[in-house]
Amino acid sequence: MGIPLRSLLVVSLLLSSVALHVAAAKTIDPYKVLGVDKKASQRDIQKAFHKLSLKYHPDKNKGKGAQEKFEEINNAYEILSDEEKRKNYDLYGDEKGNAGFSGGNFGNREGYTYFTGGGPKTSYFQSGDGWQTMGGQGNTKSFSFSFGGNPGASGGKPFGGGFDFSDVFSNLFGGGSMGASQHGGSAGSTRANTGTSGQHSGAVKIQDVTTQIFSKEISDQGITWLLLFYTPQSKGQFVLENVMQDVVHSLDGALRAGKVNCDNEKSLCKKAGVSLGKSARLFVYSYATTEKGSLHEYSGEHDAKSLKTFCQEHLPRFSKRVDIGQFSFPPNVLPNLPQVLLLSSKKDTPAMWRAISGMFRNRLIFYDAEVHDVSHPLLKSLGVKNLPAVIGRTVNGEEHLLKDGISVKDLRSGIRELKTLLENFEKKNKKLASNQANKKPSSQREENNVPLLTASNFEEICGEKTSVCIIGVFGSTKAKEQLEAVLSEISKKTLIRGQNYISGSALSYALLDRNKQSVFLSSFDKSGFKSSDKLLIAYKPRRGRFAVYKDEVTLEEAEGFVGSVLNGDVQLSPTQQKPVLR
């Protein structure tokens, strides 16, 4: 069937109108908007976008035209950050691949096909009753209508009379409807308001953090996180997300990024102690100062360099910096864990090593040293020929070169390689420890056990026949294991420096479950030490006095505390009442 002459005339008139309008409209070059070359890499495009979006963001720039400029920047980035859109623009001058129509926007609204023409602002739309006008004044810079193919736009036949215009363009351009997409003039503005900048191709993903995700992936997992707390009404959210992306990209592997919507996660924000005013707030979840993770707020300038410095300062610090000229692995370290030493030419502990020390903080003991040659006897004996290198000491006292001449292309790949190296070393040590335990007679396997204090053995262990009873109080299984190992080792040593302690007097060691013996502990402290996961109590039953050690219970610190009690160097306090176990 031939095409009706009337329909062809309408098509011809419309195409002429479009061509005239496209020629007159000013095409905005996304490369010029972002100030980048057409051969620019995705990284260069992202940097340019972040720089300009920070400059023109409405939260920071109230100048005339800033909002329009900001939308241009977002629209340009939307094209160039998407591989397909960028390719289409380079080929056709239009991100949708619509050759010859780069200046127009085509679409449909609510079942109507429409377009707006130049001159007095008159909009034409077609419904089931044919073409109608919507009055108005002024000029317009957009020309929009549908070529059909969308069932929602007048049944896919925008010209009526049974003529499907999409068939014409199917033949000309090789199939497919060109009018199925929605009008997209405000896409950049919408993205800015909703803060979904992480969705762009090549951009770093900023994870939405819920209470469950925080508990499983963040809390005390040993990994440093950059966390944005916000509500949809918060100012500065979009700016901070852009800066976060740059920083996490440069510290990829050592740092992860997340955002918490406090409207949806009220309990999480409350538990974290974060309250929001008008502006979003940025924190690093860090292990820089304690064994447990804690939030540290960033209050510096909103630029990548300042934020990166802040994040680097808050990477974990579980590796002890040592002098290689005087260093040797300690022979008795508790808990009995493998030890690893990084040798590098870095003046300070490398970020890579700090990050990995957080991930393995309860599984390995970390050291690092600055070295500029391999002539040191320890290095020569282990065959270290190139730096950087990692040396390990197993639980049975053997020292091995794990790897030397370590070469990595970036932080992420370096951390991945070190993680694999240390996991393999850890597996080897677990096998060694298992073999050692199986070879020992049962009597020797039990000799390190420190008894659990109960009502039935209290008089025997901490009764008045005992001069000093050292009680390790624990609130978790992990704390119990650490205290047992420390007290077991101390019990084998003589800790008396002077002659103040009466030789032959009884000294005993025991463990106590804080969760089951709160009444007993309240005899020493009204709170029952509820906030402490592990601590030491030195109790003198005959005198009804005691001393408490609440800091980190390492072998060295615990030895110092017990020795000071025995030598009278610690001031004792009277108990609230006589401790009784139930």
* Interacting residues of 252 by C-beta distance below 8 A, sequence separation 6+: 204, 410, 411, 412
Indicate the fold that domain 458-574 takes in CATH. Glutaredoxin (3.40.30)
Indicate the fold that domain 323-345+360-439 takes in CATH. Glutaredoxin (3.40.30)
Q: To which H or E segment does residue 507 belong?
A: strand 506-513
CATH topology identical between 204-313 and 458-574: yes
Count other C-beta atoms under 10 Å from residue 24's C-beta.
11
CATH 3.40.50.720 at 5-173, yes or no = no
In angstroms, the CA 453 to CA 484 distance is 12
In angstroms, the CA 524 to CA 508 distance is 18
Given a contact cutoff of 8 angstroms between Cβ atoms, the answer to whether 131 and 124 are in contact is yes
How big, in percent rounded to 5, are the helix, strand and coil portions of the chain?
35, 20, 45
Whose structure tokens read 């002429």?
A: 16
Domain spanning 204-313: CATH superfamily: Glutaredoxin (3.40.30.10)
Q: Where are the domains of the chain?
A: 5-173, 204-313, 323-345+360-439, 458-574
Given a contact cutoff of 8 angstroms between Cβ atoms, the answer to whether 333 and 365 are in contact is yes
Predicted confidence pLDDT, tens digits, the chain (582 residues): 455 555 544 445 555 444 444 443 445 899 999 999 988 988 888 888 888 888 888 777 888 888 888 888 888 888 898 888 888 888 877 766 554 333 333 333 333 333 333 344 333 333 333 333 333 333 333 333 333 333 333 333 333 333 333 332 223 223 333 333 333 333 333 333 333 333 333 456 799 999 999 999 999 899 999 999 999 999 888 889 989 999 999 898 999 999 999 999 999 999 999 999 899 999 999 987 667 889 999 999 988 999 999 999 999 999 999 999 888 888 766 667 899 999 999 999 999 999 999 999 888 999 999 999 888 888 888 899 999 999 999 988 889 999 999 988 889 899 999 999 999 999 999 888 777 656 655 444 445 578 999 888 888 889 888 889 999 999 998 899 999 999 988 887 655 433 333 334 578 999 999 888 888 999 998 887 888 889 999 999 988 999 999 888 888 888 889 988 888 888 899 998 888 887
Q: pTM for the complete prediction?
A: 0.50
* Interacting residues of 376 by C-beta distance below 8 A, sequence separation 6+: 324, 325
Given a contact cutoff of 8 angstroms between Cβ atoms, the answer to whether 508 and 470 are in contact is yes
